[in-house]
Structure 1
């Protein structure tokens, strides 16, 4: 709810207000503005300026957003991994999901180079995917650094497999466009087909699970991504065995 940009814009009084709210969020959502002012020893005008800095028109809107934020945190702690696994199976595996994996495997099998890319938890899975593909006979490399320089003119026979939950991260999109402009085919693995990365990809595999946040951290399950990577690698191996 509070971004780094918002926090750095706070003055000394607003920082003390912020610290009180963080420690007493469950109480603040039921307070009146005068009660919060008395507890934090600031004026109501300071509270209203604080609210405007975090994109709220007033204290009432701030309390609504704070409650939604707390509810989201609580909900994310209630559901087990089994729920998201069954959600993935119900929503995705019953469709033409396997056809996208087959298309990806055929594209990768014909490619001279395979490059995995992701950041954060997707970066860890990019490294895992490159290692797994290499273990099954298709050598692959990975990039986890969004600022990694890519100046190669030898990418026309390559496939880039880009992992991103949202498919909207700026540096991920910039790298995808750069690889595409250099002649690389783009395969994206995202949580939805309705994202920018999916739309600019040659092939998109979307797994559709509920996104979960814990505070500002995206802790959406990555089980579907592991399945996609491993199943694609196995399909590539079968293609090589039948050639």
Structure 2
């Protein structure tokens, strides 16, 4: 709604109408067409022509789409207000217990011959980043991007597998992790909570607990805590190896 192409077709009167609507969406979605005509000093014909340019059959359909547009804007605004959960996460990482957990995992990674990273979607992108970061700190690491890749014993012999998943419930990831675990790899998971199936399947779990955010079916939960945990874990591992 309100694409740049549509806005470019507006007349001066329609631009004035558009400006009023954008500033007063809460009011307009409950107005009758005559009410809107009165407050904007345009004719009902101008309003109907305006609606038609926005691919609406009439004013009623326009108000329905306008309400959906408003809800979408509110959803996007909610996504931009995650500072509190991030602040709480950072405060938790400063506790002695959390630091001890990081150090315990780092000791296990330092002793392993290799580190295997796995993840799907945005978690997969961060898994690749994690493998490069660990490699940069002189720990041999690689990323498996294909969850259906046949796993041979030499891939995971004397290894630690670091698994990234927001929900910790992705079936393909769980199947892959279960196979690695059966082959003897130590499983470290980084998830949004410690009650997920993946967290319970793991030997070690780091949970970051931030608000889950979706736009439609797309999970847009912030991944800032994951980047922080990967870098902190890599540095702690490097110190253990020094």
- TM tier, shorter chain? 0.5 to 0.7
Cα distance, 1:234 vs structure 2: 0.7
Cα distance in 2 for partners of 1:211, 1:171 equals 21
SS in 2 for 1:205: strand
What TM-score results when the alignment is normalised by the length of structure 1? 0.66
Residues paired across the two proteins, number = 179
Alpha-carbon contact 1:76-1:213 (below 8 Å) kept: no
The answer for the alignment partner of 1:230 in structure 2 is: 231
Instruction: List per-residue Cα deviations over 1:105-164 (Å, max 9, x = no partner).
Output: 111000011100001000000000000000011010001222222132563411100000
| Structure 2 portions without partners, runs of 5+ | 1-29, 31-66
Cα distance, 1:75 vs structure 2: 4.1
Give the greater-gyration-radius structure (CA): 2
Alpha-carbon contact 1:133-1:139 (below 8 Å) kept: yes
1:212 aligns with 2:213: yes
5 Å matches for 1:127-206? 127-152=128-153, 155-206=156-207
Q: Cα 1:175–1:207, aligned 2, differ >3 Å: closer, same or farther?
A: same
Cα distance, 1:85 vs structure 2: 2.0
Q: Cα 1:100–1:150, aligned 2, differ >3 Å: closer, same or farther?
A: same
SS in 2 for 1:77: helix
Cα distance, 1:237 vs structure 2: 1.2
RMSD (CA atoms): 2.7
Cα distance, 1:101 vs structure 2: 1.2
1:99 aligns with 2:104: no
Cα distance in 2 for partners of 1:237, 1:185 equals 18
| Structure 1 portions without partners, runs of 5+ | 1-29, 31-66
Alpha-carbon contact 2:116-2:156 (below 8 Å) kept: no
Alpha-carbon contact 1:118-1:163 (below 8 Å) kept: yes
The answer for the alignment partner of 2:126 in structure 1 is: 125
SS in 2 for 1:114: strand
What TM-score results when the alignment is normalised by the length of structure 2? 0.66
Cα distance in 2 for partners of 1:199, 1:72 equals 36
